[in-house]
Structure 1
């Protein structure tokens, strides 16, 4: 049964949306997609608003282009986040433990997968895997600190 919740404070706003599909893996993947996708949409909306204000006018055509860009960015970044969260959760289930190594493996697999889908060559795929693993591990360590 789908449920949503919202909580906020001045020190740390938090938006929590939970979708229960009956499958924990799919729940985590959708959660990552929705959270990061909505951040990408908000960032693009702010950027497009700034561009419209700095130009001094907005047309219907420009507005439609902005909406398309918002949707595209939301789907792109939401998909990457969904893949990462799914990989991280899958690695956790396979290894039977929850630690920073799951983020490293999940980030590396996600970086490599996104690079392969983008039709990159072997060296670029390896670099993207290293970058994905490094960023995910750093984020996990920062999360432990807070």
Structure 2
């Protein structure tokens, strides 16, 4: 049983899930699907953690000790409709938040992968410049998924995306 699972995980990196007729499309689709799955798992596990913490660390007022008792407690909880209940509203909020986060992760991975591929093909080289441009554009796109985004946030996300992507590219030869 374990060897089958390990074979599937190893094949995950080698195999091609899609054949959409062009390497760029294949790369974008595969990156999107893989990252969207990771985003969904991350979202659900984070919410399970917060639900477990809220259930195990309630004080006499019914509020977890790390959360303030004022109306600010709603701001600290990422998904205010989720309260560990088994009702329909809670399930709908979980599905909505998981879908949004999956889409964000998939968007980032697919866009970055497609941009680096396209830049490599257009320039004939794969270097830190491609990574910087792809990271900046991907960072800007992710900033646009934030509610009430400002110009300052878009610029910060572009700079952060470019810096992380460039650092990863430069460090990939070292490690």
Following superposition, the deviation at residue 129 of structure 1 comes to 2.1
1:8 aligns with 2:6: yes
Q: Return closer, same or farther for 1:53/1:128 CA change in 2, 3 Å cut-off.
A: closer
CA distance in 1, matches of 2:110, 2:165: 13
Task: Give the unaligned 5+ runs of structure 1.
Answer: 1-5
- Written as runs of structure 1 = structure 2, the 5 A alignment for 1:1-146 is 8=6, 14=10, 15-16=12-13, 18-54=17-53, 55=55, 58-61=85-88, 62-115=90-143, 120-121=150-151, 123-146=152-175
Following superposition, the deviation at residue 120 of structure 1 comes to 3.2
Q: Detail structure 1 runs of 4+ shifted over 6 Å in the superposition.
A: none
Following superposition, the deviation at residue 116 of structure 1 comes to 5.7
Q: Which has the higher contact order (CA 8 A, sep 6+)?
A: 2
Mean alpha-carbon deviation: is it higher for 76-85 or for 136-145? 136-145
Q: Deviations over 1:69-123 (max 9, x none)?
A: 11110011211221111111111111111223211121122223444676532x5
CA distance in 1, matches of 2:125, 2:91: 47
Following superposition, the deviation at residue 28 of structure 1 comes to 1.2
Q: Return closer, same or farther for 1:7/1:18 CA change in 2, 3 Å cut-off.
A: farther
Following superposition, the deviation at residue 67 of structure 1 comes to 2.1
- Between Structure 1 and Structure 2, the one with more helix by share is 1
Contact 2:104 2:145 in 1 (8 A): no
Following superposition, the deviation at residue 7 of structure 1 comes to 6.6
Task: Give the unaligned 5+ runs of structure 2.
Answer: 57-83
Mean alpha-carbon deviation: is it higher for 93-102 or for 61-70? 61-70
Question: Helix, strand or coil: the match of 1:98?
Answer: coil
CA distance in 2, matches of 1:134, 1:22: 33
Following superposition, the deviation at residue 132 of structure 1 comes to 1.1
Name the Cα RMSD after superposition.
2.6
